[in-house]
Amino acid sequence: MYKKNSATYALLSHRPSTRRFRIALLAGALLTSAFSLTALAETAYVTNEKDNTVSVIDLNSMQVVETIDVGLRPRGILLSSDNKLLYICASDSDRVQIIDLATRKIIKELPSGADPEQFALHNNDRWLYISNEDDALVTVVDVETSEVLAQIDVGVEPEGMGVSPDGKWAVNTSETSNMLHWIDTNTNTLVDNTLVDQRPRHVEFSKDSRLLWASAEIGGTVKIVDVASKDVTHTINFAIKGIHPDRIQPVGVKLSDDGRYAFVALGPANHVAVVDAKTYEVLEYILVGRRVWHMAFNTDQSRLLTTNGVSGDVSVIDVDSLKAVNTVKVGRYPWGVVVTP
Amino acid sequence: MTPAAYLACLNGVLRREWLRFYQQRSRFLSALVRPLLWLLVFAAGFRAALGVSIIAPYATYITYETYILPGLCCMIVLFNGMQGSLSMVYDREMGSMRVLLMSPLPRPFLLVSKLIASALISLIQVYAFLAIAWMFDIQPPLWGMLAAAPALLLAALLLSALGLLLSNGIRQLENFAGVMNFVIFPMFFLSSALYPLWKMRESSEWLYWICSLNPFTHAVELVRFALYLQFNGQALLVCLSLLIVVTSSAVITFNPQHAAVRRAPGS
């Protein structure tokens, strides 16, 4: 059935002459799998607001393997589309820093306007939309030329920033005006506003760019906005047994690519709400660390990482079982997180 | 004596204990209701909805219900061990213990058989309780439930042995109330069953030391670690050595004549 000189024959044969060959083959197979495991090791990067650092977590060992010094008060964090560059809002340094992930060194600094907090990268991988909290502005910067392309007036205390996956819209939230500001990315001008609940903190587009999820920290709600009409179509409320409603302050929102779940970080309620992304029904509340703010999925979206500011750690949620499975200590006041493959 | 004789004896003791357990369904019910009240009423009122700080063996934040689960498992075992001691007093008074001791097998073997029987009955109750807790979404890892079996058995043997030792000092059935007040409650409250020891330390260093010396704390920690697939060497060492010491003392001090001698003149 098997040719006498074939590898399969060698593996199946019990003859002593072939034993050494079999061992070599097995060793080769083991080495290959070891290499592929290394290749699969995912890494999470977490901005620590009070430590002026970025913690690097190996998601295999769940250990902090490196801490990178960055500018003052690092908050917003995102990746280039090829996962090679890491962008950080160094809020009190008034700039955006770019870290090359191959060397984990800061290779470039971009002008950002004053006090950049959150930002979003256009799908052309060049235009960075930055909200300037103190100046009521959104600054658009070309990351290649470092040129400021536009500064757009928005509401008071701009915070959340999102760009639609199709690249047509940039949306900014202003914490004091309680509005979503719609910026047409073709002209980089403000074209519309949507009123939402008090203190909107974060926006997240659905994968098909048709819906926008916007959290309101003081309002305690998440609004679903139809991108075409810019109207609010649904409002999601949260209630956790034993926790005062004032503590329920939605901030970060993450949508799973399969369209099944939306995860909402509820701040000082120390819970992440799991929402059915189709029916908008809250399915579950998952206990994590203190003052949970932002979240990131790993590559295959089997795990969700949350930054817990007050307890200074990152919790890991298993998306299948919807349970928190681990918590890793990082620096002081972790703010945002991203994961690279 | 052949090994078969030993086995027959062990089998007899196990079956008697099982039959007694099976027939006293109210006892089973009360053994379940007690920890369930703690879990679903006390823990609900005490509810730390914002999470209990991370301590070993937990990998992340947990609810208070999750924290007290191992302690309540051990509570079942503790009450069962002490109830075993009650049954021992009863057996001595009613004479059925003397029937057992008529066996030609060595007395230590008979007593250890009784301990094993009582421990196995405890285990049935603990798993029934864990199954109910599971339905209320308090779910330790499945493999942990399996890994906890030897830890629970060891804890049950230790607490049954302790019950036996106590029963040697009790002359009358009525004294069991005293056991409740002076043994069960202090053992349960002065342990890590309801609150982490660091929390105790915050209120009183003395209380902390009493709690850390309490054998029940070590039994609870052994079960807690096993439930989360971790090994607590210190707790195992303490429980094992105590088991040996307490069982030997219980066997040595056991005196079936207690009740008979006392009653003889009046009877």
Write out pLDDT tens, residues A3-26.
Answer: 444 443 444 444 444 455 455 545
Of the ranges A64-68, A261-265, A325-329, B174-178, which one carries the lowest mean pLDDT score?
A: B174-178
pLDDT at A299 over 60: yes
pLDDT reading at B181 higher than 80: no
Q: Which residues of A5-15 are buried (b: 16+ CB within 10 A; e: fewer)?
A: eeeeebeeeee
Work out the percent of chain A whose per-residue pLDDT is above 70. 88
For residues A170 and A176, what is the distance between their CA atoms, to the nearest angstrom? Answer: 19
Q: Which amino acid is at B244?
A: I
Among A54-58, A140-144, B33-37, the range scoring the smallest mean pLDDT is B33-37
Closest-CA residue of chain A to B58: A326
Please indicate whether, in this complex, the C-beta atoms of A290 and B60 are within 8 angstroms of each other. Answer: no
Of the residues A240, A327, A330, the best mutation for testing chain B's interface (the one with the most B CB atoms within 10 Å of its CB) is A327
**What is the pLDDT, as a whole number, of residue B264?**
44
Q: How far apart are CA A209 and CA B109, in angstroms?
A: 75
**Residues spanned by the domain of B164:** 7-253
- Mean pLDDT of the region A116-137: 91
Among B52, B61, B66, the strongest candidate for a mutation testing the A interface, having the largest count of A CBs within 10 A, is B61
pLDDT (tens digit per residue) in B182-197: 888 899 999 999 888 8
- Global pTM reads 0.82
Residues of A in contact with B51 (CB under 8 A): 270, 287-290
Chain A residues closer than 8 Å to B137 by CB: none
How many CB atoms lie under 10 A from the CB of residue B94? 12
pLDDT above 70 for A138? yes
- Euclidean distance between CA atoms A111 and A93, whole angstroms: 10
Q: What is the pLDDT of residue A319?
A: 96
Query: Are the Cβ atoms of B49 and A290 closer than 8 angstroms?
Result: no
**pLDDT tens column, A81-109:** 999 999 999 999 999 999 999 999 999 99
Q: Where are the alpha helices (DSSP H) in chain A?
A: 7-12, 16-40
What is the pLDDT, as a whole number, of residue B174?
A: 65
More confident residue, A34 or A261: A261
Q: Report chain B residues whose CB lies below 8 A from the CB of A290.
A: 50-51
- For A271, name the nearest residue in chain B, comparing CA atoms only: B50
In chain A, where are the structural domains located? 71-237
Q: How far is A306 from chain B (nearest CA, A)?
A: 12
Using CA atoms, how far residue B227 sits from A255, B66, B136, B217, in Å, is 33, 11, 17, 15
* CB nearest to A325's CB, from B51, B54, B60: B60
A-chain CB neighbours of B50 within 8 Å are 243, 269-270, 290
A217 pLDDT higher than 80: yes
Q: Give the pLDDT mean for A63-80.
A: 95
Give the other-Cβ count within 10 Å of A300's Cβ.
11
Are the beta carbons of A117 and A110 closer than 8 angstroms? Answer: no
Instruction: Name the band, by pLDDT with cuts 50, 70 and 90, for residue A306.
Output: very high
Q: Could you tell me where the beta strands, DSSP code E, fall in B149-214?
A: none
pLDDT, position B182: 83
Q: What is the mean pLDDT of residues A310-327?
A: 94
**Average pLDDT, integer, range B6-12:** 88
Check pLDDT > 50 for residue A34: no
Asked if B50 lies within 8 A of A288 by C-beta distance, the reply is no
- Nearest-CA distance B33 → chain A (Å): 24
Q: Which amino acid is at B191?
A: S
The verdict on residue B262 lying in a domain is: no
Percent of chain A residues topping a pLDDT of 90: 83
Q: Do residue A288 and residue B59 have CB atoms under 8 angstroms apart?
A: no
Between the alpha carbon of residue A19 and those of residues A32, A54, B52, B82, the distances in Å are 20, 50, 56, 62
CB pairs under 8 A between A and B: 36
Q: Which phi and psi (to 5°) does residue B258 adopt?
A: -35, -65
Poorest-pLDDT segment among A66-70, A319-323, B83-87:
B83-87
pLDDT reading at A278 higher than 50: yes
pLDDT band for A35, please (50, 70, 90 cuts).
Answer: very low
Q: Which of B21-35, B111-125, B133-147, B249-263 shows the lowest mean pLDDT across its residues?
A: B249-263
pLDDT at residue number A36: 43
For residue B68, what pLDDT is reported?
A: 92
| pLDDT greater than 50 at residue A32 | no
Please check whether residue A283 touches B, CB under 8 A: no
Q: Is B4 on the interface with A (CB under 8 A)?
A: no
CB-nearest to B59 from A240, A290, A327 is A327
Which of A241, A289, A326 lies nearest to residue B59, judging by beta carbons? A326
Lowest mean pLDDT segment, chosen from A119-123, B16-20, B50-54, B62-66:
B50-54
Q: Which has the higher per-residue pLDDT, B215 or A19?
A: B215
Look at residue A33 in the predicted model and tell me its pLDDT: 46
Q: Taking residues A153-162, what's their average pLDDT?
A: 93
Q: What is the pLDDT of residue A39?
A: 45
Query: In CATH, which of 3.90.1150.10, 3.30.342.10, 2.130.10.10, 3.30.1330.10 is domain A71-237?
Result: 2.130.10.10
pLDDT of residue B114: 87
Q: What is the mean pLDDT of chain B?
A: 85
Number of domains in chain B: 1
In B28-67, the residues whose Cβ lies within 8 Å of chain A are 47, 49-51, 54, 59-63
Compute the average pLDDT of residues A149-172: 94
Contact between chains at A240 and B49 (C-beta distance less than 8 A): yes
